[in-house]
Structures are given as C-alpha cells and as structure tokens.
Structure 1
C-alpha cells in the first residue's frame, strides 16, 4: 500500500511560517537589538542622516519601553509600547537594570509623544547642568572644547524627509558647501566626542537644570540643531527623561546611505559600515 502524503495545506503552512518568523523577530527586537534609522541631523557629526544601527537593549535592562512600537500617523498606525506593555509603566524601574554612563549615545522614548529619539547622555540624576556661551557646565565644571577644524557637507536634500542642513557660513545655494565649526568636547568622566556649532543662539545660554532623581539630561552633538533636554516638553523639546523611557545604547553603525532611499546604492557611505559609535 502506498504511503499516505500527510503534508498540510501549503497556504496554512506558509501562514504558520510567517507567524513564527514574526514572533521570533518580535522577541529578538524586544530583548536584544532594535533597528534604528537616523532621521535628522541632531547628532552630526557622530551620526549622519541615513545611518542605520542596532540599539543594544541588553545594556541597561528592560522596561515597558523595551517593547517595540510602530507609529505611522500617515496611515493611522499607532501601536505604542505603552499600549502593549503599559502594565510595566509607571514605577520608573527596570528589570536587570544598570545605570547608563555619561557620554553614552542612547535611544529613548520621548516622555510625551512616544517617539524614539537618539541623543548623548550629558546629565545624571542629581547633576546641575548649565550652558554658558555654548560650553556645557556640569556641577560647576566646564566640559572643555578644543577646536577641531570644520565639518563640511553639501547643501542638498538629505534623507527621505528631504531636510536641508543649517550652515555657519550663511545662506548657501543648492550644491554649495555648508560649513559648521567642529570641536572636541571632553566630559568630566573623560569621554570625548565631536560637537558642531553654527552660531550664537538662545540655547547657548541657559539657566541651571537640576536633574531629578531617576531621570536624565540629553543633548545632541549638533548643538545648534537639536531639540533636546534644554527645551521643556511643552516647548517642543525633550526635557528630563525617566529611567524607564530608555530603550538602549547605540554602539555601532551597520549601514549608511546618503540618498533619499537606501536603494540608491551610489549614495552608500562605505566608510561608515560597521563604524563604532563614540
């Protein structure tokens, strides 16, 4: 007697395979690494528009913010982490939590909008932070800056949003060279990183911010083009960020594209592939 073929319905098997793959991908993204595209220029020159990286979620432990969220207002999708993992929200603690270090480049969830942001950690709980003439003061100690030449980029539309860079050398036409002053900033714990300056503006001179317990103060490396903790959430900024809103640490760039789409292979930045983030 011929052996009976017990192979299931191919459509059902395909659906099961897709479901299993999505479950595995969801667990991987929730517990280990989350992909992140750099959408704006607030972290130049450390991170450029079009850089693609994986966020290390194991670095600081887990909270409700570790759950993935998908927010696409244009098509009405709003699967926020709070809706899926809100049961873990509110106590400002983390499972297997460890404290981030000053100078880390961190991805976190905006306290009010729920969108993911990436900035550099400047202020720890209890710190007093102030900016005077563009220099960050941490507990009365200046984070010194040493001039490091200029940062140059073409004046052109950048990334899928078609953003134009701001320049220190005034109005620059399409295709012209946009220049910003570059410096190396050293934080009190010895971490050094590049920062950019466009020119004098209000955010170069602030009052004193006292970081509450359990919260953190973040700034972008592109200091004159960053909505960060210097602005309150009600004014379009970030304000202080609770410990539980931190998603993870950005360690390494995996891929980078300078064009409007990652499919434009002629715009790929091969010198940034697998580049460490410092």
Structure 2
C-alpha cells in the first residue's frame, strides 16, 4: 500500500502528540506517587517540627528543626493531617517512657503543638520542693555542671545553673540522663503540691524549668497545661536535622552561613 506525503505527516504528528502526552502523564503520576508517599511518611512514620520557644533549653534551642517518630506511641486522630474527628483514643497504643521528649497537642487548644519532657506516668507522684524534682517521694538526682547563659525567643538573657538530671527508668528502660537549666529555686512552681498523675494521662515539664508553661500549671487560665491526655500525643522527638540562630534580618543573606549551628545538625535528642 502506498502512502501519500500528507498521510505520513499525519501519522508522525499523532506519534509526536501521543509521546508528549505520555510524558506529561508520567510526570503527573510521579508527582502523585511522591505526594502519597510524603503523606504516608508524615502520617505514620516521621513529621518535622521546629522549636519556636526557649522552654526546652538547653536540650532544644530556638531555631532547632527536628524529626518526630509518630509510630512509637501508636496513632490518634492527632496523627492524621487536619486531625479529623474519626475515632477516640489511640490505635496500637504504647505508653511513653519517663524522660522521653514528646510532641503533643495543647490541652486547651488542640490545634497547637507543644514539646516537653515526659516526667510522670499514670500513678506517679510528682512534686517540686525548693526547686528540686521529687518523683514518687524520692528526690531525682542531679549533678551541678556550672553556670549557664542562654537566650529565649524574645532575646531575653537567662543566667542560671546547668544540671544533669537522671530520671528513673520505666517499663524496662534504664534511667534517662538529660540536661536542665535552673534560674531560681523560689516561687510557687518550685514548691508545688504532690500531683498524682491520673490513668490515661502524663505529666510534662520543660527542661528550662523556670521558663516553661508545663503540667505544674494546673489552674483554669487559658495558658495552663495541666495533666496531658495520652490521646494528645503526636510522637517522640528523635533527632535534630537542622538548626539556625536567626540573629539577623532575613534579607541579610550573607549572614545565613554564620547563623547555622553546624554542631547541632544530625544530633540525637536526649
């Protein structure tokens, strides 16, 4: 069969058109797969967070970026994007360990993420006496590591003492040694009642013990945290993947390299 020039051009044109269309669809399909994988990882495995406040100094600094493991505690509706009210409680629930640094939803407004250290588990007695932490009637040991100076999110200079504290282990885990900052031993939140953690809740505290709105605040004010329901857990903070000290305006691009805290990149959270 003979082909005219026009028929050959028509077939070539269709082949070219089909090829271009196939390439576009492949790109769309690749982007779709990548998006689905990203949603799966964020929902069930890891989610990234940044630190906006100084409540966890010296463990976490303002400008730290970290990954949080969501699978360790099981899943609640707060594990899902937009937190849809699909079910109550947790699926595949695991009780956290004392000493874990955890991300959870604020008790007064569950659209807000908090990050603190888990100090008390259900049934534990937690109390501050003269600035010292007592757990189940026993003083939590700490070692003085000397003077410490830090700045919070407002640039306020904080001068105090740094200690290494050793929280007792839980569920087969040994003691958890971590750093805390103490600015004072006075005030009502350094001398608290004996709090008993209810079933289904935990007691959270910031490592910056005198500049942290945590579970010691048990009142009815909008900023009071109180005991935190296990359902509010989002995940366990694992490691810092980036850190920046934003001392200069964003437009001063030449300052960006010196603002990066290179020594904190890829550091485990303890």
TM-score by length of 1: 0.80
User: C-alpha root-mean-square deviation of aligned residues, in Å?
Assistant: 2.3
Q: Which residue of 2 aligns with 1:127?
A: 124
Structure 1 range deviating more: 236-245 or 20-29: 20-29
Rounded Cα–Cα distance in structure 1 between residues aligned with 2:121 and 2:231:
14
Rounded Cα–Cα distance in structure 1 between residues aligned with 2:108 and 2:269:
27
Aligned residues: 244
Q: Which residue of 1 aligns with 2:141?
A: 144
Rounded Cα–Cα distance in structure 2 between residues aligned with 1:96 and 1:266:
44
Rounded Cα–Cα distance in structure 2 between residues aligned with 1:10 and 1:229:
55
Matches within 5 A, 1:168-187: 179-187=159-167
Q: Which residue of 2 aligns with 1:110?
A: 106
Matches within 5 A, 1:244-255: 244-255=231-242
1:41–1:165: 8 Å Cα contact kept in structure 2? Answer: no
- TM-superposed CA distance for 1:98, in Å, is 1.4
Rounded Cα–Cα distance in structure 2 between residues aligned with 1:35 and 1:144:
32
1:240 matched to 2:237? no
The change in CA–CA distance for 1:15 and 1:113 in structure 2 (over 3 A counts) is farther
1:54–1:250: 8 Å Cα contact kept in structure 2? Answer: yes
The change in CA–CA distance for 1:19 and 1:232 in structure 2 (over 3 A counts) is farther
Rounded Cα–Cα distance in structure 2 between residues aligned with 1:145 and 1:121:
17
Q: Which residue of 1 aligns with 2:155?
A: 164
Where structure 2 has 5 or more consecutive residues not aligned to the other structure, the ranges are 1-10, 170-174
The change in CA–CA distance for 1:238 and 1:15 in structure 2 (over 3 A counts) is farther
Q: Which secondary structure state, in structure 1, belongs to the residue aligned with residue 210 of structure 2?
A: helix
1:188 matched to 2:168? yes
Rounded Cα–Cα distance in structure 2 between residues aligned with 1:215 and 1:95:
16
TM-score by length of 2: 0.82
- TM-superposed CA distance for 1:112, in Å, is 2.3
Where structure 1 has 5 or more consecutive residues not aligned to the other structure, the ranges are 69-79, 168-178
Rounded Cα–Cα distance in structure 2 between residues aligned with 1:234 and 1:164:
29
